[in-house]
Amino acid sequence: MEAIKKHYFSDLAVMLGRSLRHIFRSMDTVITVTIMPIAFMLLFVYVFGGAIQTGTDNYVNYLLPGILLIAIASGTAYTAYRLFLDVQRGIFERFHSMPIARSTMLWGHVLSSVVSNAISVVVILLVALLMGFRSSAGILSWLAVAGLLVVFTLALTWIAAIAGLTAKSVDGASAFSYPIIFLPFISSAFVPTDSMPRVVRAFAENQPVTSIVEAIRALLAQQPVGSEIGVALLWCFCIMLVAYLFAMRAYRKRV
């Protein structure tokens, strides 16, 4: 059993290293992922911020959690793109002819998505600091925020894996991210839900992005999180479990 585990993790390290090399050799993908959320942050803070009433003096503090989720949603689209290329080029079939654990090929893409999105999040946080973002959160709160973002990234990455394995074209592989990127705009990420029409408000208050945003916002402000973090984690784990099952089914059919 120990030998099997060692063999599996060594295979996983090789697949992860391969995916990361592809990312670092084309840093334009990471740059592209970070530019759009930063542009949104600049636009909303310096153009619309004065007209938006959120009950806080520092709008960038209010806005940042939603911007981070948009960045992650954008980043996972590249996972679908890279998976699609591996499938189309027959890379999986080549690896299957070698004595390696098959699931590590898929997990390599998933874990590299976590790493690349973490880089994007750090860059956005640095820009937010320059724009006036400040947080009184302690180490434990920051670790909780990081953990929540990682779980959210994994949930979206497994959805991306489904798209990458089942799409018929490159555009189709990355198109799944468009509605996910749009979700934060119909949530409490940019404005309080109290200002929304009744139907829109009902949707905004009962979709996963709102609970995740509210949990991160409370953690960064050192405020009581309440049930929001439990609801956020429940959303993320449920999405991740369902997406994982469908992704593995699509993977087995594909290979």
**Tokens coding 142:** 């920051």
pLDDT tens digits, 93-148:
777 677 677 777 888 888 988 998 998 999 999 999 999 898 888 899 999 999 99
Question: What average pLDDT does range 79-97 have in this prediction?
Answer: 79
DSSP per residue, 123-177: HHHHHHHHTT------HHHHHHHHHHHHHHHHHHHHHHHHHHHH-SSHHHHHHTH
Could you give phi then psi for residue 167, rounded to 5 degrees?
-65, 155
Cα–Cα distance for residue pair 72/19, rounded to 1 Å: 17
> Does residue 73 register a pLDDT over 70?
yes
pLDDT tens digits, 4-53:
455 777 777 878 888 888 777 776 777 777 888 899 899 888 887 666 76
The whole-number pLDDT of residue 6 equals 58
What size, in residues, is the chain?
Answer: 255
Question: What average pLDDT does range 223-252 have in this prediction?
Answer: 90
Q: Is the pTM of this model over 0.85?
A: yes
> Quick one: pLDDT band at residue 216, thresholds 50, 70, 90?
very high
Among the ranges given (61-65, 131-135, 141-145, 178-182), the one the predictor scored with the smallest mean pLDDT: 178-182
pLDDT tens digits, 217-231:
999 988 888 888 899
